[in-house]
Amino acid sequence: MSRSAALLEWLRKTVADRGFAVGSLAKKSGVDRRRLRRILGGSEEMTVDELLALTEALELTPAELGLAEGTMVDAPAALDIEPKQREGVEVDPWGNHVQQLFEVAFGLGCDFFFLARTAELTDSGLPAAVLAQYEGRDLPIRLDAGYHKYNKPRYEAHTVTLTLSFDALYEVTIPWSAIHQVSFFPAEQEPRDDDSEETPEPPTPGTRPTLRLVT
């Protein structure tokens, strides 16, 4: 594996290990979200400034980057890893559909929206003013990808607990049974070079994305 491919693989692993989705990392680093998707996907080269921005956002130390006194030394051991096969999303048609949709939305790092029956949220931990405002109708909640890291979803057999922001931060526990609609807002896909609306061609089998720093 080339050093650039190993660095990209290590960077992706670090992003995942530190609980970032693309949206939240883009917001914290200041790198455009679509640009960041292309960088981490290996389809575009990364600038030194972008690497520094990501380094700061991920709170990486010089030692973790293999730096000593401002000089690049041998790659850290983490760069020697071989890429792991991406595991497919397991879908259970007989299981909890709402939970699976939440897991996919958080896993993709896309904005999503859901409706919950307010009548089932009395003991959820939601502010009383919010419950009063939506009494007798559905409560709409949109979770922006840029804040997924702070939502901290915790799944239980019958509920999901989220950290939500209203006038302050609240730990809100919502019964799965209360949620009856989930809508995704996926990241826009880049058009092909000919500006057509066709689906981009998949990468050639056997090739691996690489990363190269440019100034």
- pLDDT digit string (tens) for 22-73? 888 988 999 998 888 888 888 888 888 888 899 899 988 777 766 544 444 3
* Residue among 172, 147, 145, 146 at smallest CA distance from 161: 172
Tokens of 116: 């919950």
Q: State which amino acid sits at residue 130.
A: V
Give CA–CA dist 65/186, Å, rounded: 32
Per CATH, the architecture of 3-82 is what?
Orthogonal Bundle (1.10)
In the chain, where are the structural domains located? 3-82, 97-185
| 54 contacts 29 by C-beta, under 8 angstroms | yes
* Residue among 22, 24, 89, 30 at smallest CA distance from 56: 30
pLDDT digits (tens, 9 = 90+) for 99-122: 999 999 999 889 999 999 999 999
Class of domain 97-185: mainly beta
* Residue among 181, 179, 174, 180 at smallest CA distance from 156: 174
Strand 213-214 relative to strand 46-47: parallel, antiparallel, unpaired? Answer: parallel
**3-class SS of residue 171:** strand
Place of tokens 């401002």: 70
| 75 contacts 64 by C-beta, under 8 angstroms | no
Residue 181 has pLDDT above 90, yes or no: yes
What predicted TM-score, i.e. pTM, was given to this entire model? Answer: 0.59
| 34 contacts 188 by C-beta, under 8 angstroms | yes
